A and B are shown apart, each in its own frame.
Chain A
């Protein structure tokens, strides 16, 4: 029986008066890739950001319902949001390395966690860069500024940075939308590789990408989760007409 790692139960989210998510019920199992698809403004990124409470950073956000990560209710008052985020890696749409060296970018999460031992930091930086398939390209100049890397390398550096804090979940918000096709395929290969050890949620506007890399696909429309199923089922035999129309490119 597969373990449920991420679960939203009757989850609603409001930006002020605007309801961005309506009664979401969603589950993701351990070591799977789930793709979130849907037209812009449908709430897929909002739901993604609700898992590690990044929406807290926006003023006027209110939620009802429940979100459980590893069985812990993350909107419970007793939950330390910083500790929560340390267990969940996040990769953003545009590569956003810090204006620091490659090494310091990956080490940042460890340093703010209070780790001071140089050997531990070095070891984790190296292993994270290896896991993010960037090690061979940067091993000779770890002191170089991360901003000197190409866009695709920067995005893999951001993945390495997220991996360094050893999360069990990785959230990706259109991680390849700003990249060229070659860099995109490298990221996709990497996601396939990472799936063995991590639970991954990826927001994407690219249908082919969703089809290639995900086990499950969730289709969102106007703040509602219309349908979530096996990726093959969603793409070949969706049960909802709107899903079918979106996938075949009739709107969105």
Chain B
């Protein structure tokens, strides 16, 4: 009997401990966002979104950085998605499960955890110097593609793994080839999970500054990039640059820039969640 009381107490205390820890993250994030909005909201305007950078804080805008970010997002997606998804299909559906496959799997997971600045150094040496792209959009996008490839591969494999064997067996039993089964059954069933993984990884790429700085993206770009071979800046670099300026006005600009970046990444995450929910409904 006496144990019941003690166990209930332990149960209750863990519950409170859990609630407390859950709220640490949420409260800190809320304070951070609240402060940023308080600082930067007044600076948000059409002018801010459509102006080129300037040495005067109140004339300075994020137009070039935003266009640079869109370019980077687009180019990175073009490089990373086809390679990542097909690599995942190969590893999950074709690769025989042997020691080599194990080593590959562990290494891809490890790559997903390599600090982004290391990818920046790799990009600098391979794309900027050896291939000679310099600090242009193409070099940046290729570098970020390397960064998110392992994330896409891991997420896609998880999504493919989640497709029930029953469905695959049904397809094979009707005489379908491996590719027909992948194309008509496995990919449609896994597409929700695959797209969620892709969107989350792209939104990670959009938030990266370090690897692009290493590759040679510029902080001050007084023109809008019009081709992949142009120099560029992106939102995180622009924000980083403003924060390091002494004038108070640039701090407000940085806060406003952060709001824009947050809106972009949050809406991408929202789209990812909506897609996942839609496919889950369809599958059940």
Check if B114 is an interface residue, CB within 8 A of chain A: no
Q: Would you list 29 pairs from A and B whose C-beta atoms are within 8 A, ordered by A residue?
A: A52-B173, A57-B168, A59-B96, A59-B97, A82-B175, A82-B176, A82-B177, A83-B175, A85-B173, A85-B175, A86-B174, A89-B173, A90-B173, A92-B166, A92-B169, A96-B164, A96-B166, A97-B170, A98-B167, A98-B170, A99-B189, A111-B184, A112-B171, A112-B175, A112-B180, A113-B175, A147-B284, A161-B174, A162-B173
Q: Which of B164-215 contact A (CB under 8 A)?
A: 164, 166-177, 180, 184-185, 188-189
Q: Which of A50-67 contact B (CB under 8 A)?
A: 52, 54, 57, 59
Query: CA separation between A116 and B185, bound complex, in Å?
Result: 19
Query: CA separation between A109 and B170, bound complex, in Å?
Result: 10
Query: CA separation between A109 and B175, bound complex, in Å?
Result: 7
Query: CA separation between A140 and B234, bound complex, in Å?
Result: 56
Interface bits B75-116 vs A (CB < 8 Å: 1, else 0): 000000000000000000000110000000000000000000
Interface bits A109-122 vs B (CB < 8 Å: 1, else 0): 10111000000000
Query: CA separation between A165 and B170, bound complex, in Å?
Result: 13
> Are A99 and B166 touching (Cβ within 8 A)?
no
A54: contacting residue among B97, B173, B189, CB under 8 A: B173
Please report B residues at the A interface, Cβ cutoff 8 Å: 96-97, 164, 166-177, 180, 184-185, 188-189, 282-284
Q: Which of B167, B172, B284 has the most CB of A within 10 A?
A: B172
> Are B96 and A86 touching (Cβ within 8 A)?
no
B170: contacting residue among A52, A113, A158, CB under 8 A: A158
Return chain B residues, CB-CB under 8 Å to A109.
174-175
Return chain B residues, CB-CB under 8 Å to A111.
184
Check if A94 is an interface residue, CB within 8 A of chain B: yes
Return chain A residues, CB-CB under 8 Å to B184.
108, 111-112
Query: CA separation between A110 and B180, bound complex, in Å?
Result: 12
Return chain B residues, CB-CB under 8 Å to A90.
173
Known: A59-B96, A92-B166, A112-B180. A98 touches B172 (CB 8 A): no
Top 8 closest pairs, chain A to chain B, by CB: A86-B175, A90-B173, A96-B166, A109-B174, A85-B175, A82-B175, A96-B170, A112-B176
Known: A109-B174, A112-B184, A165-B175. A57 touches B169 (CB 8 A): yes
> Are B172 and A85 touching (Cβ within 8 A)?
yes
Q: Which of B176, B189, B282 has the most CB of A within 10 A?
A: B176
Query: CA separation between A151 and B233, bound complex, in Å?
Result: 57
Interface bits A144-176 vs B (CB < 8 Å: 1, else 0): 000100000000001001100100000000000
